[in-house]
Structure 1
């Protein structure tokens, strides 16, 4: 019997950001508009990535709104 195990992971990280007027609705700290990137890897080889913009809190890191 053969058992195959594949490792697939997905990471989301911020490429660049700049300040925006407004506050986080959860913790009342400042917010930033950021260019985000989602990278999906299959057996440590990246095979899919997607870039999108989001408004992110500077204190708690929550994504308040995303523009895909």
Structure 2
């Protein structure tokens, strides 16, 4: 008998908008993206969370707000 566990993480961008400020590395425009992440186990959703991520539009670096 063989058991196969299927785990999957799905991330989807729900919205994008410009954020105030400039990139500290290149001076480019910062873009805020709302990302929904969902963990599934055998097609059953277990975990759902919405995050806001910040990226530079010129150098494509992910920025962390402290």
Q: TM-score band, normalised by the shorter chain?
A: 0.5 to 0.7
Structure 1 regions of 5+ residues with no counterpart? none
The verdict on how the C-alpha distance between 1:40 and 1:53 changes in structure 2, with shifts beyond 3 A counting, is same
Structure 2 regions of 5+ residues with no counterpart? none
Please give the TM-score of this superposition, normalised by the length of structure 1: 0.65
**Which residue is 2:23 aligned to?**
23
Please give the TM-score of this superposition, normalised by the length of structure 2: 0.66
The size of the alignment, in residue pairs, is 64
Q: Measure, in 1, the Cα distance between the counterparts of 2:59 and 2:48.
A: 25
Runs of 4+ in 1 over 4 A off after TM superposition: 59-62
How large is the RMSD of aligned CA atoms in angstroms?
Answer: 2.5
Q: How does 1:8-47 map to 2 (within 5 A)?
A: 8-20=7-19, 21-23=21-23, 25=25, 28=26, 29-47=28-46
